[in-house]
Structure 1
Amino acid sequence: MAKPIGAAAMVAALKREGVKVSGVRSWRRHNRRGHGPWGPVHGVMIHHTVTTGAEQTVGLLYRGRSDLPGPLCHGAITKDGTVHLVGHGRVNHAGTGDAGVLEAVIREVKLPAPGADTVDGNARFYGFECENRGDGKDPWPAAQLDAIERVSAALCRHHGWQAPSVIGHLEWTATKSDPRGFSMDAMRERIAERLKHPPDDQPRRKPRPKRPKPRQTPPPAPKPKPTPPRKGDDPMTEAARRTVRTMVQTALSLAAALPILVEAADIPQTAAGVGTALAVAGAVTRVMQSKQVQRLLPKWLRTTVPDPEDIPRPEADRAQGGGVV
């Protein structure tokens, strides 16, 4: 049998546990007196609000709804970890629940699955509503979870309870799913660890290891597209270059050798056409010997240098193994 905590003692217990407390309007006298008993109390019940926004959430929990008058809990725990006290005494938060669950809370043993809703939970539990949409996706900030842990531990210390005296609404009745987004078993473990130490001598909680961010492999550099050759830029093919080179070399050789051939054949230079041929051959020879032609002709007639491995070697060289050792 536990007598409910007084308003001043509630504030003192929460502050000793390091809770950031805020009183809302006339919370000390705001309750559902005359609508059922308040006490004896046996535990703490945690809920989520299905709301967003601290101010709107606290206002709703203080005044209630058209179908359910306020206060709707003893304290509203917003995402920043502040506990806003909105009522003291009997409040509308738990509704009816399973007698077997209440018995397990009193004995502080493992909870059974909730069955028939036959017991007035508003008379037996402190209630704390936590700002959260309750969709399983809305995050629970560390400061808010820490406040839930501290509030529960503060009331457990005051009454001499242990962590099993703290339950979720979903553990009281099968008709509810709150709180959703964290495990009540994990929260009770946190509360049990806190109760092992005085409020002002809490061990530091080990931070959760951060998951390494996956390395992002940079996309492969795009391969440059081959530039198609422009018309007029195509070089002369090797075969054509060889043919032209052979023709030019032959013409030059004939032009240079023509005077010798005429003299060797004992052809008179006065014969018809011979003088003209000799004159043309001499002119071609002089032009081909000019510096401009000598600079231009090798560039125009250049050819690919053959790979040394492609050059046939003499038989003697192949027989001896040849090549660089």
Structure 2
Amino acid sequence: MATPMTANQLVAALRAEGVKVVETSGWRTHNRNQKGPWGPVNGVMIHHTVTSGTANTVKICRDGYAGLPGPLCHGVIAKDGTVHLVGNGRANHAGLGDDDVLQAVIAERPLPADNEASTDGNRHFYGFECENLGDGKDPWPAAQLLAIEKVSAAICRAHDWSQRSVIGHKEWQPGKVDPRGFEMDSMRARIGKRLGSTTTTPKPSPPKAPAVDLSQLVAAARSNPSAAGTPVTYSGVRIVEAALVDAGLLTKRYLDGHFGTTTKTAYAALQRRYGYSGRDADGIPGKTTLTRLGKAHGFTVKD
């Protein structure tokens, strides 16, 4: 995990790696931070645009379109290898993806298959859109592939990550096919070589994640749910509330340590997101849903 780079740090890192950078107007303050958190960052995600023409592609990625406001990435990698920076902060590029993939990226180990969409990727990944039609026929010029390699290596170098911190959109979200036309494994090998290593160096063990006691949490959820504004003493409630906020199911104003009606409603929505219904989606935490929530948002569960 890492704190996102500032605009100046990002530009400096890219140029130090030999990337040709174009700064579009207003990119340094152009983001979607008002819609959710940006960071901690864990990796770099590569996409293709399904567009042609650099000017048109940059405009779309900067401004977005109906239903999906820009920026749609942090930078556009053009056919000639030039990187056009269009956003700095949270960007609409990754969407919801597989929390198991995120954990693999954090641990810098081989990726599992992506088979669920439950975790906010816009928070955790730098995103780069590559100008390409994505039809498997549109060529990937050598200059463009080299720029993808350099951009990825620059960010990994800045955060002391290995090549395993670079993934494709198709490895994150089920149903996605981008980038289409080259293999991410071969690109990661190129990035690793540029970073000076073809193998992954084990990372130090991360700080121990906080633990939530399931029995105490259930007791908090069952105790006097109508007494809004009356916090319980168990600190695990705040951990779960913060995760529900991060998941987009609870607003920050209810992050108060009180597992009342609003928090139960949010947890019931989480249960439905995970495929439960009826009495199994009553807002009272169960071990399976709580464990999945913890994996996605950085806490463990004890009985």
Q: How does 1:194-233 map to 2 (within 5 A)?
A: 194-196=194-196
Give 1:41-190 correspondences, 5 Å limit. 41-190=41-190
Q: Distance in 1 between matches of 2:139 and 2:59?
A: 21
Residue 125 of structure 1 and its aligned partner are, at CA, apart by 0.1
Per-residue deviation at 1:34?
A: 1.0
CA shift at 1:67, angstroms? 1.3
Which amino acid in 1 is paired with 2:119? V
Residue aligning to 1:22: 22
Offset at residue 26 of structure 1 (A): 0.3
* Residue 168 of structure 1, CA deviation: 0.1
**C-alpha distance in structure 2 between counterparts of 1:157 and 1:48, whole Å:** 23
**1:174: how far off?**
1.3
The structure number with the bigger radius of gyration is 1
Q: Aligned equivalents of 2:175 and 2:31: distance in 1?
A: 24
The one-letter code matched in structure 2 to 1:131 is: E
Unaligned 5+ runs, structure 1: 198-325
> 2 CA distance for matches of 1:41 and 1:133?
28
Runs of 4+ in 1 over 2 A off after TM superposition: none
TM-score (norm 1): 0.60
TM-score by length of 2: 0.65
**Residue 173 of structure 1: CA displacement?**
1.1
Q: CA deviation at 1:52?
A: 0.3
1:196-250 C-alpha deviation (Å, 9 max, x unpaired): 08xxxxxxxxxxxxxxxxxxxxxxxxxxxxxxxxxxxxxxxxxxxxxxxxxxxxx
Provide the residue aligned with 2:3 in structure 1.
Answer: 3
Quote the Cα distance in structure 1 between the aligned partners of 2:176 and 2:86.
Answer: 22
Measured in 1, the distance between the counterparts of 2:116 and 2:55 equals: 36
The whole-number CA distance in structure 2 between the counterparts of 1:33 and 1:14 is 23
What SS does the corresponding residue of 1:34 show, helix, strand or coil?
helix
Amino acid corresponding to residue 39 of structure 2 in structure 1 = G
Distance, in Å, in 1 between the alignment partners of 2:47 and 2:150 is 15
How far apart are the structure 1 equivalents of 2:165 and 2:112? 14
SS of 1:170's equivalent in the other structure is: helix
In structure 2, how many angstroms separate the alpha carbons of the residues matched to 1:33 and 1:8?
18
Once residues 98 and 9 of structure 2 are traced to their aligned partners in structure 1, the CA distance between those partners, rounded to angstroms, is 30
Report the equivalent of 1:38: 38
Q: What runs of 5+ residues in structure 2 fail to find an aligned partner?
A: 198-303
Q: Report 1:256-275 matches (<5 A).
A: none
> What CA distance in whole angstroms lies between the structure 2 residues aligned with 1:66 and 1:174?
23
The percent identity for this pair of structures is 64
AA aligned to 1:182 is: F
1:235-273 deviation per Cα after TM superposition (whole angstroms, max 9, x unaligned): xxxxxxxxxxxxxxxxxxxxxxxxxxxxxxxxxxxxxxx
What displacement does 1:152 show? 0.2
Cα-to-partner distance string for 1:40-59 (whole Å, 9 max, x where unaligned) = 00000000000000000000
Give the Cα separation in 1 of the matches to 2:100 and 2:189: 22
Tell me the secondary structure at the aligned position of residue 126 of structure 1: strand
Per-residue CA deviations over 1:147-169 (Å, capped at 9, x if unaligned) read 00000000000000000000000
